[in-house]
Amino acid sequence: MKINIKEIPNEYSKIGGAIVVFSMQNDDGYEFRPPAVKLDEATGEALSKAAASSDFKGKFGQMVEILAPVGVAASRILLVGIGEEAKFTPLKAEQIGGKVINKLMYSNEKDVTIVIGKHAAHCAMGVLLRHYKFDKYYTTEKNIKKISVEQVTILTLEAKKVAKEFKEFEKIADGVIWARNLVSEPGNVIYPESYLEQIKELESLGVEIEVLNEERMEELGMEAILGVGQGSASETLMVIMKWMGSKDKSAQPIAFVGKGVTFDTGGISLKPGAGMEDMKFDMGGSAAVVGAMKALAGRKAKANVIGVVGLVENMPSGTAQRPGDVVSSMSGQTIEVINTDAEGRLVLADCLWYCQDTYKPKFMIDLATLTGAMMIALGQDYAGIFSNNDELCERLTAAGQTVDEPVWRMPIGDGYDKLIDSDIADMKNVGGRYAGSITAAQFLQRFVNETPWIHIDIAGTAWRQKPSDVAEKGATGYGVRLLDQLVRDHYED
Ligand code: BES
Ligand code: ZN
Ligand code: ZN
């Protein structure tokens, strides 16, 4: 879909297709924005009449649709409430953009024109993100619910400035949508080798890619990640992405690390059959990292950023790892694998250690669909964060508020750490029934030294059961915008 940004014209009567105009809510009820006033005049007060005959109050998200209005070229006018003007924030504009496109997407209209004076680029971002649908595997007429809208024109004040702002947003949306696509693809399409081929597309944006294959990982002593992939026919891979966008290419980088379990059956500790298909999303952390790399490179962020993802499939087979097996790790620490389904932490252990050891980053943030317990604790709105650094947490929390990918800090500490001590090795990979998300984080922390670090458990936020204002149900691309915003706020030249 194409989005154009143009200056607000003097009149609207010649615009075809669907026109969207806004109304605020004030103490007396609704109050049309000037474009709505003009269209009202041009249509013999069709908007006022429609508003009066419905219970339109200009409340945020309220809509009245006027079909085939007289006096104008438009085939329909959508009057949309934005609530109180003072509360109309950039995020609200984004939500409105999403709501509008959701309303019109299947309306048979090809052209949509949105007239918006404030936060127009954010509104356009909402349109882009909500317009997405993963429908590539539908082939029959019955399944293909055709999206009719081909072009959205945003009419706004200072169009040039808005267009410039939106150009950056578009690059971020590219990253989000790529992440959603990767997460939506099934396990027979995205497995480590095919995933790597996808990631290589980043090279065209100037991202350098390095791959550690099984042989190299063996040399490095990465038994933790290798053990997870031992039962799979696919080769386990660790992929490193480097975006050196800072003026000083030798400046200390920041680093993002992602769990890329392309399918998680649980291994020999096999998951129950019901719902197992959802575990194609178990590479959601890595998708957030590669999506963020795409966004950052796409908008040429002035920062040095390393992305590390561990790509592996967790399968049961004659060669699979057994419960009770003891493996070493690149760090040298040994792990008793009590449960082969707690594999994400084994993958991240070697990724984190390698990243810290090789790149000495300013900080590391890892993302992972790590524990079912995270969904029990926080549901699907907030991701849980676990960290050894207050300042970094404050920064990430603020970034999350800005882009509506919120995070909530959870505790970690010695008491929890003891729960993963093992009788026969340095640690075990599960900590019992209580505090499942925290003991998983404690495990990760054992592979982080003094480096400031945050672990984000996105088990609840990577996939939505219901659509939101800016995302169809399914893969959300959660994390891409969060990481981009953090970089934008604090880590660019
Ligand atoms: N990928 C899962 C976590 C998960 C489960 C995310 C359900 C979203 C929904 C992870 O590898 C896993 O299986 N974790 C286990 C850990 C347990 C064995 C300690 C879990 O959460 O049940
Ligand atoms: Zn698992
Ligand atoms: Zn998993």
What's 144's DSSP letter?
Answer: -
What's 1's DSSP letter?
Answer: -
> Cα–Cα distance between 150 and 201 in angstroms, integer?
26
Beta bridge partners of 21: 79
CATH dotted code for 171-490: 3.40.630.10
Q: Residues, the chain, total? A: 493
Using a 6 Å cutoff on CB, does residue 342 contact ligand 1? yes
Ligand 1 atom closest to the Cα of residue 271 is 13
| SS3 of residue 194 by DSSP | helix
Q: What is the pLDDT along the chain (493 residues), one digit of tens a residue?
A: 899 999 999 999 999 999 999 999 999 899 999 999 999 999 999 999 999 999 999 999 999 999 999 999 999 999 999 999 999 999 999 999 999 999 999 999 999 999 999 999 999 999 999 999 999 999 887 777 778 999 999 999 999 999 999 999 999 999 999 999 999 999 999 999 999 999 999 999 999 999 999 999 999 999 999 999 999 999 999 999 999 999 999 999 999 999 999 999 999 999 999 999 999 999 999 999 999 999 999 999 999 999 999 999 999 999 999 999 999 999 999 999 999 999 999 999 999 999 999 999 999 999 999 999 999 999 999 999 999 999 999 999 999 999 999 999 999 999 999 999 999 999 999 999 999 999 999 999 999 999 999 999 999 999 999 999 999 999 999 999 999 999 999 999 9
Do the Cβ atoms of 423 and 335 come closer than 8 Å? no
Using a 6 Å cutoff on CB, does residue 437 contact ligand 1? no
- In the block, tokens 């300013």 appear at 362
- In the block, tokens 């399968």 appear at 315
Using a 6 Å cutoff on CB, does residue 371 contact ligand 1? yes
Give residue 144's pLDDT. Answer: 75
Please give the positions annotated as active site: 271, 345
Mutate to test the pocket of ligand 1, among 261, 269, 280, 341 (most ligand atoms within 8 A of CB): 341
**Which DSSP string corresponds to 291-313?**
HHHHHHHHTT-SSEEEEEEEEEE
Task: Name the helix (H) or strand (E) containing 112.
Answer: strand 111-115
Ligand 3 centre distance from Cα of residue 4 (Å):
41
Using a 6 Å cutoff on CB, does residue 339 contact ligand 1? yes
Ligand 1 atom closest to the Cα of residue 429 is 19
CATH dotted code for 2-158: 3.40.220.10
Phi and psi of 363, rounded to 5°?
-160, 165
Ligand 2 centre distance from Cα of residue 267 (Å):
8
Using a 6 Å cutoff on CB, does residue 369 contact ligand 1? yes
Both structure tokens of 137: 């595997």
Do the Cβ atoms of 241 and 290 come closer than 8 Å? yes
| SS3 of residue 257 by DSSP | strand
Ligand 1 atom closest to the Cα of residue 373 is 21
Give residue 280's pLDDT. Answer: 98
Output the CA torsion sign for 53, 55, 56, 62: negative
Do the Cβ atoms of 440 and 457 come closer than 8 Å? yes
Q: Map 385-398 to HEC letters.
A: EEECCHHHHHHHHH
Give residue 311's pLDDT. Answer: 99
Write down the domain spans for the chain.
2-158, 171-490
Instruction: Give the dihedral of Cα atoms 469, 471, 474, 479; nearest 10 deg.
Output: -120
Decide if 2-158 and 171-490 have a common fold: no
Ligand 1 atom closest to the Cα of residue 436 is 19
Give residue 86's pLDDT. Answer: 95
Give residue 21's pLDDT. Answer: 98
Strands (E), 165-253: 208-212, 237-244
Ligand 2 centre distance from Cα of residue 316 (Å):
12
